[in-house]
Amino acid sequence: MIVIIQCKDQIGLVADISRLLAEAGLNIVSMREYVAKAENRFFMRLEVDGNGDEHTLTNKLIAILPEGAEVHVNPLPDKRIVVMVTKEYHCLADILVRNNFGTLGASVSCVIGNHPVLRKICERFEIPFHLVSYEDVSRDSEQEIIKLIDSYAPDYIVLAKFMRILSHGFVTHFPNRIINIHHSFLPAFAGANPYRQAFERGVKLIGATAHFVTDDLDEGPIIAQQIIPVNHSFTASDMVRSGKEIETAVLAKALRLVLGDRVFVYGNKTVVFE
């Protein structure tokens, strides 16, 4: 069982939480905690063993914590995700392989594409593929996607190179539940064609960023980032090819962290217990 707590900091929190768990007959196997002093914010992730009702434990924890505390008790670590794609296959293929061998930390409920290009690879892995045309930008087309996603009741939506800007209504419907992989080391080269921007700027490092989606394009809370060196001999195409490899790695790492309940969001920042 995993217990996630985020609240105002105060003296004695760790002792109070530990005492409550002991009284409930739960043994702490792992505990990570952090205090953001500037915001007076306390974060804790615990793994516990023992028999206990998650709803009862949640209510007991809320009763001893500062007002407004966020508590999540998850007896089943595996999650459900919906993946959204356009045409690029590299991130989706990695997710499907991990899902197939049970190493993703979640099950892929379906894949939604706004082009039919990736239907066949989904069929090979026996994952439902839904083609929902996004060529028109009407509100109805987006509402159709929201309705489809809700029918699967996923924990998270993963944008595996879904190349379309989502509306305010879509983002607010899934707060802190949409994970995107961006092909640059944000905040550098946000927006379209970042590898072309990097090539023209003559950078010596390129990278990728996985982040939660907000209304501010490519500015949501960052989950994971990586960089690799490049040099004058790299063409824009070379950068794209190398970038795809690091995009896949960064998204895989971000999913491992999020699906393992290791990422806390507060404001536009994250606390990540790796």
Q: CA 133, 138, 141 angle in degrees (round to 5)?
A: 40
Note the helical H segments in 42-89. Answer: 54-64
Contact 58, 48 (CB under 8 A): no
> How far apart, in whole angstroms, are the C-alpha atoms of residue 189 and residue 80?
32
Per-residue CA distances from 246 to 91, 197, 208, 218 (Å): 10, 17, 6, 17
Residue of 78, 136, 218, 261 marked catalytic: 218
Q: Is 53 a catalytic residue?
A: no
Residue 101 dihedral angles phi and psi, to the nearest 5°: -100, 10
Q: Which long-range contacts (CB under 8 A, 24 or more apart) does 89-92 make?
A: 89/117, 89/118, 89/121, 90/161, 90/244, 90/245, 90/247, 90/248, 91/160, 91/161, 91/181, 91/247, 91/248, 91/251, 92/118, 92/121, 92/122, 92/160, 92/161
Kindly calculate the radius of gyration of the chain based on its CA atoms and give it in whole angstroms: 20
Catalogue the active-site residues: 218
